[in-house]
């Protein structure tokens, strides 16, 4: 790697039988769809891609069981720039800010998303953010997936960052992370604890899976808020904070989150999916094809923590975004369980 660059991300992929014979640039562009093939070819040319530890050319053919490693590197001088992106501020003072992140907004610069992130918006709004996590993750103490909405706390000073990060790392009693989700299917119990260890998927290293005998302790507590025919609205409290924890835990129960295209069954949820077949004639095709939500129906509803400076308990709630509201309204109108008016 050139001395004037910094390692941004490193991924290792093992070639499967069906992938053998592909050009390495095509193999990687299929694996990481956020990066263009031209961008990947540039990484290969600069030596940031190796096959079994050896550098390669863009037209090198991969073989089954080979390990392909890709490093995404940026110039050492790279830093995000302030951008005028609207923010929904839930709380703010001189030490921190809590925002209601909208769905679709990437938290910090990442492959394929070097601009238009929450960090860019916060730099414009706050001026100064902590740099403990490095120049690409200014202020970021914890994160939400791109398509997960809701409450996030961001540090303005390094002192605040260290104190907040400690609360997340040590699972402070003051820390409460409460989510709501619309899931497929009808839950058997009104409330329960999911205690299943999580780790990297043995085939797809970008996915998380339940891993016994090697996964990290992962605990979620859910409570049913509303029941519908074929769907359930639940509250989930996190006791640990693993990557994709709620999404994988609910999938493990047989109730993946609605519109979770990564761990679930669909990427679009339409009114047609809610309205009973015998009632569909009452609506037009245009009405039935209306998309209610097009991303995982997961929202970080409540965040509580201890203020890093004065010890005050900060407890904020993030209003549901419009797509979650639309989906709930449709379920309440068309998918109430038998006997419920």
Whether 256 and 223 map to the same domain: the answer is yes
Number of domains comprising the chain:
3
- Is 33 inside any structural domain? yes
Least confident of 2-6, 240-244, 337-341: 2-6
- Is 341 inside any structural domain? no
Establish whether 145 is a catalytic residue.
Answer: yes
Whether 17 and 144 map to the same domain: the answer is no
Structure confidence at residue 1 (pLDDT): 46
Whether 195 and 281 map to the same domain: the answer is yes
Whether 34 and 52 map to the same domain: the answer is yes
Is pLDDT above 50 for 20?
Answer: yes
pTM above 0.85, yes or no: no
Is pLDDT above 80 for 131?
Answer: yes
Q: What is the spatial order of strands in the sheet that 5-14 belongs to? A: 5-14, 67-75, 49-51, 54-55
Whether 117 and 254 map to the same domain: the answer is no
Structure confidence at residue 340 (pLDDT): 66
- Is 81 inside any structural domain? no
* R_g of the chain computed on alpha carbons: 22
Whether 147 and 245 map to the same domain: the answer is no
Whether 44 and 183 map to the same domain: the answer is no
Which phi and psi angles does 12 have, rounded to 5°? -120, 130
- Mean pLDDT for 30-37 is 79
Measured over the CA atoms of residue 148, residue 153, residue 158 and residue 162, the dihedral's sign is: negative
Q: H/E element holding 334? A: helix 322-334
Q: Residue 200's pLDDT band (boundaries 50, 70, 90)?
A: confident
Q: Annotated catalytic residue: which of 145, 147, 260, 323?
A: 145
**Residue 12: which CATH number?**
3.10.290.10
Least confident of 9-18, 90-99, 116-125, 314-323: 9-18
With beta carbons less than 8 A apart as the criterion, state whether 328 and 233 touch: yes
Which domain covers residue 30, as residue numbers? 5-75
**Residue 98: which CATH number?**
3.30.2350.10
Whether 324 and 219 map to the same domain: the answer is yes
Of 49, 75, 101, which marks where a domain is finished? 75
Whether 243 and 216 map to the same domain: the answer is yes
Whether 66 and 94 map to the same domain: the answer is no
Rounded to the nearest angstrom, the gap between the alpha carbon of residue 54 and the centroid of all alpha carbons in its chain is: 33
């Amino acid at each position: 790697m050139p001395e004037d660059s910094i390692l941004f991300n490193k991924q290792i992929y093992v070639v499967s039988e069906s992938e053998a014979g592909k050009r390495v640039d095509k193999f990687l562009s299929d694996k990481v769809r956020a990066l263009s093939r031209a961008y990947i070819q540039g990484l290969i040319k600069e030596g940031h891609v190796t096959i079994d530890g050896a550098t390669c050319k863009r037209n090198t053919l991969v073989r089954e069981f080979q390990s392909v490693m890709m490093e995404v590197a940026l110039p050492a001088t790279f830093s995000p720039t302030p951008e005028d992106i609207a923010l929904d501020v839930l709380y703010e003072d001189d030490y921190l800010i809590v925002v209601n992140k909208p769905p679709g907004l990437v938290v910090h610069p990442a492959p394929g998303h070097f601009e238009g992130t929450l960090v860019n918006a916060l730099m414009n709004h706050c001026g100064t953010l902590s740099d403990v996590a490095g120049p690409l993750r200014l202020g970021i103490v914890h994160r939400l997936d791109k398509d997960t909405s809701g409450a996030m706390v961001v540090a303005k000073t390094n002192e605040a960052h260290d104190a907040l990060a400690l609360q997340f790392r040590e699972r402070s009693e003051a820390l409460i992370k409460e989510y709501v989700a619309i899931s497929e299917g009808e839950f058997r119990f009104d409330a329960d604890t999911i205690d299943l260890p999580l780790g990297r998927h043995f085939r797809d290293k970008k996915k998380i899976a339940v891993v016994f005998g090697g996964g990290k302790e992962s605990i979620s507590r859910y409570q049913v808020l509303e029941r519908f025919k074929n769907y359930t609205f639940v509250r989930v409290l996190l006791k640990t904070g693993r990557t994709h924890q709620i999404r994988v835990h609910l999938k493990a129960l047989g109730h993946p989150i609605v519109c979770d295209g990564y761990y679930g069954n669909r990427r679009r949820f339409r009114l047609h999916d809610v309205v009973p077949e015998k009632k569909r004639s009452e609506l037009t095709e245009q009405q039935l094809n209306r998309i209610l939500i097009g991303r995982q129906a997961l929202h970080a509803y409540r965040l509580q923590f201890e203020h890093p400076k004065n010890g005050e308990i900060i407890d904020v709630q993030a209003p549901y975004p419009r797509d979650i509201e639309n989906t709930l309204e449709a379920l309440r109108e068309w998918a109430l369980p038998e006997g419920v008016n």
